[in-house]
Amino acid sequence: MEHCREDGPAMQTVRELATHSADIRHLQTDMDKMTKDMEEIKDAIREISKTLSEAKAIKATAVAEAAETNQVLKAAKSTQANADSLKLAGEARLVELNKELSGAEKTRLEVEDLKASILSKHQDFIASL
């Protein structure tokens, strides 16, 4: 008869409760693992967010430096254009000075020829006396 008691509804309830208890332990273990995984994901997201913030700061710095470099490049191009303009003006002035020097040399040679001619005529005059 005791055997019948063990198979009765109370025993069935005990068995069901034991099964539910095991299921609840498994669920609690799963929930604990899931909570731990979520914390790890949150940590990873925080690290990603930090890295993203650092990358944005680096990008902002790079953009600012690029803008500054662009301004320096524009100034250098302007300076180069001014230098080229001055070079052309200097070369034009050099051509003018070379022409004037050529003219002065021609005049000097003419003066020398005139001087030689005067000396020759003067010597001829003195010799004719």
Q: What is the pLDDT of residues 62-91, one digit of tens each?
A: 999 999 999 999 999 999 999 999 999 999
Residue by residue, pLDDT tens for the chain (129 residues) are 444 455 788 888 888 877 888 888 899 999 999 999 999 999 999 999 999 999 999 999 999 999 999 999 999 999 999 999 999 999 999 999 999 999 999 999 999 999 999 999 999 999 988
Cβ neighbors of 61 (< 8 A, separation 6 or more) are: none
Query: Domain range spanning residue 81?
Result: 2-127
Tally of domains within the chain: 1
Cα angle 24, 29, 34; round to 5: 120
- pLDDT score, position 63: 97
